[in-house]
Structure 1
Amino acid sequence: MEKRTRLLTIIGIITGILLVSVAVWWFWLREPPFPEGLVQANGRIEGDHYTVSGKWSGRIVELLVREGDVVVTGQVMIKLDDAQTLEKLNQAKSAVDVIAAQLRAAETSLSVFKKNVPLKIATAKAGLNHADAELVSSHATEQQMLKDAERFQALLLTETVEKRRSELADLSWKVAQAQHRTARAARTKAEKLQAEAELGWDQIEANTNEVAAIAAQLKQGQAALAEAQSVMNDLIIRAPASGMVTTRIADNGEMVAAGSPLFDIVDLDSLYLKVYVPQKEIGKVRLGLPAQIFTDAFPDKPFPAVIRYIASQAEFTPKEVQTQDERVKLVYAVKLYLAENPQHQLTPGLPADAVIRWQEESPWAKPRW
């Protein structure tokens, strides 16, 4: 009887200890169930990629960045050999300078012609008008002197006037004839001067055409110069976007072909976590839902993210999943874009876990696997 009592006492004590242990586990040690409005997923961090290549072939003379370097937009990454292009550029500059000097000289000549030709024409016209007046006046004088000489010659025959007066009248007529011939010569000369002055318009037109032709040559030379400068600029290969260099294909001294890839850059400010959501849970996920991303490096620091891509077709779980059982499940690819990447703490390739909240009232929780 005493042994039985002792056994029951021991059983009671053990039962009490078990009940206390269960209570302690339930109220203090048991992990609460995962909230209903959350979906767990995991994957690797990726980013938008930019392939860096050159427009021209050439030999690399200076390599300024390598894998792991962070670059900013416009930063010089590679310099190609530019000796030949530099020579062409200098030749183009010299040609432009020569043509520009020719154009300035032609424009100056045209300006002088435009200023002097109207003045010469006006002067020649005034001279012609004066010659016309002199010709008319000399012609009238000649006719009058002729009449006087004929009249005195008739009077001389009747001995009405002295012979001396008749000779003076005849001499005056001859002088008037000479003056008339001089006036005709002066008018001819004035006509010639006006014709020569009028040719100035043709010279202005010719100079205008010359200026236009030289200006066209200058434009072609400037285009050739701009092309040479563009090629010169393209021999310096710059980063098309800010990010981290993940791949480098070329090295110093190598010949690279036009358009061949040289670097791969990932934008560290546009990272996303690509996860795979099981088919049975994809109905809970939609674009715009908030998410939190957790990494081993920062286990207590969730990074906010937003769903911006959901695959339209299911696929089998990728091969990087370890177990065969998981690989045969149908899943949907989902991209969770990070709202920010402070101090670029996250980089492409890092494994990470994600929690997607599809019910607003659900509290956030860390992923559990």
Structure 2
Amino acid sequence: MPWKPKGKSKWIIGLVALAILAFIGFKYWKGKKSALPEGIVSGNGRIESKLADVSAKEPLRVREVLVNEGDLVKPGQVLVRLDTTTLEASLAEANANLAATQEKLAVAEAGIVKQKSEIELATIEAERARRLVAQGAGSQRDVDVRTSQLETTRASLAEAEATLKTSREEIEVARANAATIQTRIADATLKSPVTGRVLYRLAEPGEVLSPGGPALTLVNLEDVFMEIFLPASEAARVKIGSEARLTVDFEPDRSIPGYVSFVSPEAQFTPKQVETKSEREKLVFRLKLQVPRELASRYVERIKTGIRGVGYVKVDPDAAWPSRLQNVVTAESEPH
């Protein structure tokens, strides 16, 4: 005789069936909700930012490091001071050399003034001697002496003018040398080139940095982007400047506006971050979704690189963003 469920068993079976139907319905509803409209594509990615090294131009000893890892820094903020004792000694020597050269120039200028006066006097005396000879009141020997003195004085003037020119050139060289050393001293004060956060502190006081050796690595918080990977069929429809949206996993109900700033000209294998083997086997194109600088500047206190999320791109400019991507973060909205 076939088994027939009793009343209580019927209720249990009915509840299980209802639960299964509800689960299937929920999955279907969630799938429909997450489905993107035609003309919009998406890819997984993470928030990234460019890095900037704060480096020494020449080998100098670190005197003090003024920031720690995690500190927020602004453009022009002093981050590291290097020891400039030897450079300051060289600058003092260069300034002394400049002063000596300027004094030499002053002597040369005074000598020229003197030589010009002597030439005027010698010219007058030579002319007077010629008139006396013409009048029969003087000797030719006196004329020859006066003429010789005039020529000698003119030669001395030419020599003084050459010395003056040399002194001026030496002053320019000495001034350039002093300015160069002053610039080297200024370069020994390392400043932040960007608004960012200290990622790595790579040097400590007392260490000697090599030329180009980094003392700090900064995360540029005004150059924020997300890289996603799209198959060729979708990437081919993307244009530079296309409108984009970015979401992060910890706050999926808010989206960040952006735009496509780069589309790779070459295909590549999907990077290892993609978990599914079938996805890794596909060739894709890398896209860079840039966050506007003014928006990134507004939220520098909250930006954290490495956070995973999803990037969305309009391949059809007329496509409408779904409602879940319309709660957009703006530069005017209050950070929270």
TM-score (norm 2): 0.77
CA contact (8 A) 1:121 1:198 kept: no
Write the mapping of 1:21-170 to structure 2, written as runs, cut at 5 A.
Answer: 32=33, 33-135=35-137
Query: Is 1:220 the equivalent of 2:176?
Result: no
1:90-123 deviations in Å (ceiling 9; x for gaps)? 0110111011011111112202322441243123
Per-residue deviation at 1:322? 3.5
Q: Deviations over 1:264-285 (max 9, x none)?
A: 2333222110112245533443
Separation in 2, partners of 1:200, 1:283 = 86
2:290 is aligned with 1:337: yes
Note if contact 1:55-1:259 (Cα within 8 Å) is conserved in structure 2: yes
Find out whether 1:352 has 2:305 as its counterpart.
Answer: no
Structure 1 counterpart of 2:318: 361
Identify, as 1 or 2, the structure richer in helix.
1
Deviation at 1:47, TM superposition (A): 2.2
Report how far residue 325 of structure 1 moved: 4.5
Tell me how far 1:81 sits from its aligned partner: 1.2
Answer yes or no: is the 8 Å Cα contact 1:272–1:335 preserved in 2: yes
CA distance in 2 between counterparts of 1:360 and 1:234 reads: 48
* 1:128–1:194 Cα contact (<8 Å) kept: no
Q: 1:254 aligns with which of 207, 217, 231?
A: 207
Match of 1:178 in 2: none
Cα displacement string for residues 49-100 of structure 1 (whole angstroms, at most 9, x for unaligned residues): 3233212112100112332333344332222111111111101101110110
- The alpha-carbon deviation at position 203 of structure 1 amounts to 1.0
CA contact (8 A) 1:311 1:334 kept: yes
Q: What CA distance in whole angstroms lies between the structure 2 residues aligned with 1:215 and 1:285? A: 63
The answer to whether the Cα contact below 8 Å between 1:315 and 1:331 also exists between their aligned partners in 2 is yes
Q: 1:260 is matched by which residue type in structure 2?
A: G
| Partner Cα distance (2:108, 2:273) in 1 | 76
Judging changes above 3 Å, is the alpha-carbon distance between structure 1 residues 282 and 124 closer, same or farther for their aligned structure 2 residues? closer
1:291 maps to amino acid: A
Gapped regions of structure 2 (runs ≥ 5): 1-6, 8-13, 326-336
Cross-structure match for 1:179: none
Change (3 A) 1:127 1:242: farther
TM-score when normalising by structure 1: 0.71
1:257 is displaced (CA, Å) by 1.0
Match of 2:240? 287
1:292 to partner: Cα distance: 0.8
Distance across 2 between alignment mates of 1:85 and 1:109: 36
> Retained in 1: the 8 A contact 2:129–2:142?
no
Distance 1:133 1:210 in 2: 41
> How far apart are the structure 1 equivalents of 2:182 and 2:59?
16
SS of the equivalent of 1:93 reads helix
Mapped pair 1:272 → 2:228? no
CA-atom RMSD in angstroms: 3.0
Partner secondary structure for residue 299 of structure 2: helix
Q: In structure 2, what is the Cα distance between the partners aligned to 1:215 and 1:361?
A: 70
Cα distance in structure 1, aligned partners of 2:263 and 2:242: 11
Q: 1:286 Cα deviation (Å)?
A: 3.2
Higher mean C-alpha deviation, range 87-96 or range 249-258: 249-258
For structure 1, which runs of at least 5 residues remain unmatched after alignment?
A: 1-6, 8-13, 136-182
Task: Give 2:191's match in structure 1, choosing from 221, 238, 252.
Answer: 238
Deviations 1:259-317 (A, max 9, x none): 22332233322211011224553344333221111124554432111112222333333
Partners of 2:125 and 2:146 within 8 A in 1? no
Residue in 2 aligned with 1:160? Answer: none
Identity of aligned residues (%): 25
Corresponding residue number in structure 2 for 1:302: 255
**Cα offsets for 1:213-261 (capped at 9, x unmatched):** 2223323322332332232223222334443332221122212111223
Q: Which has the higher contact order (CA 8 A, sep 6+)?
A: 1
C-alpha deviation, 1:354, in angstroms: 1.7
Counterpart secondary structure, 1:125: helix
SS at match of 1:65: coil
- Cα contact 1:38–1:357 (8 A) shared by 2: yes
Q: Counterparts of 2:236 and 2:134 in 1: how far apart (Å)?
A: 109
2 CA distance for matches of 1:279 and 1:192?
99
- 2:329 corresponds in structure 1 to none
Distance 2:163 2:236 in 1: 77
Asked if 1:320 is matched to 2:273, the reply is: yes
Q: Assess, with a 3 A threshold, how the Cα gap between structure 1 residues 362 and 188 changes in structure 2: closer, same or farther.
A: closer
| 1:275 maps to amino acid | I
CA displacement 1:178-233 (0-9 Å, x = unmatched): xxxxx54xx53354234213321111011112212222332332233233223222
Is the 1:72–1:243 contact (alpha carbons within 8 Å) kept by the matching residues of 2?
yes
